[in-house]
Amino acid sequence: MKTTLFFGALFICFSSSSQIFITSAHFIDASDVVQIGIDTNPSITHTPSGPNQTWDYGELNDYEIDFIGFGVADWFNGYSNFPNATLGTTDADGIQIFFRKNTDAFDLIGIYGDLFGEGTNSAVGFSPYQRQLSFPSTYGTTFTNESVINLTIEDFDDADSVEVTVTTHRTSVFDAWGTITTPFGTFNAIRQYTKDSTIQSFTAYLFGFPVFNDSETVVTHNYSFYSDAQNARYILLQYTYDPNTELLSNVQWQMAAPVLNNPTDLTQNQITIYPNPASDNINILFEQPFFGDISISDASGKVVHDASLVGDNNLNLVLNNWTPGVYLLQLKSASETSVHRFIIR
């Protein structure tokens, strides 16, 4: 998974004279796509918890770029495994990730896809869930959560199967507030500190008998910054911190305001664009034969592809040498003009 997903919330800026509360209305929702910069050689430093801080992270670099696009859960074909999910996304490896967002919390529910690279899709659910954020929240708000996932890997090296249990004990606290500057801009911000203690247990079976047992515990410290600005609506900055070495890793930051992502836009002629986001190729399916012109432009407005279609139901584009980013597909026919967005990773 290219991007490690950490989730928090947006909020109203805290001040000495007003109390800040985070509700579900402040958090990312379906159809939002966020462009993420990944700094693989960060020079920023961690600060202790506390109020009224100033974080100057304006020198972050986007050595890598990724995109996170959220959609309604039932847009994804793995939704039937997680009927209580309300949102979904797809990572760079094509794994579908499902969440539940309501007025009480934002929770990670489960994942679906070819998890082991064997060409077979499977679903893995968190029991009961992995909490990312509770609503409402404010500076000083805390929550605790224990989540469990169970996996079975068949034909694993010298064993018939291996059963894996991953138990995560999570504590979360909004431990700081202040002003943060990133290449995206300067924002009033609040910081969430999440500590995960994860126990991974392995049991190998041969001819139905356990032949090997092992377990390990990993502790991670994650920090995420959020703002109430309408052009944010997502994590402004996130990183993992090692208190023993004082080193930061997995530094990722929001590069621009979220854009609208509709995998299926309804026009007079319904179209479906998939996969979205895409990497190697993209398909455009027309419910009815399309007669007209298409034009694809990148975020700067430069036209990168155009064509005229005469009664086509399907258009497949190979994306060799296409720069990752947000693209606009414009359709023009005698009866309508429509614009649709898609993402290239």
In tens, the pLDDT along 97-139 reads: 999 999 999 999 999 988 877 778 899 999 999 999 888 888 8
In tens, the pLDDT along 129-166 reads: 999 988 888 889 999 999 999 988 887 777 888 999 99
Q: Dihedral angle at the C-alpha atoms of 282, 254, 112, 263, nearest 10 degrees?
A: -40
Residue 223: C-alpha distances to residues 95, 129, 257 (Å): 24, 20, 21
> Which tokens belong to 31?
């159809």
pLDDT averaged over every residue in the chain: 85
Residue with tokens 């972050």: 60
Buried b (16+ CB within 10 A) or exposed e, 51-72: eeeebebeebebeeebbbbbbe
Complete domains list, the chain, with CATH: 24-259 (2.40.360), 262-344 (2.60.40.3080)
Angle at 119 between CA 113 and CA 121, to 5 degrees: 30
Mean pLDDT of 254-274: 67
CA distance 105 to 309: 47
Mean pLDDT of 209-225: 94
Does the pLDDT value for residue 267 go beyond 70? no
- Higher pLDDT: 334 or 73? It is 73
CA distance 278 to 297: 15
* pLDDT the model gives residue 81: 96
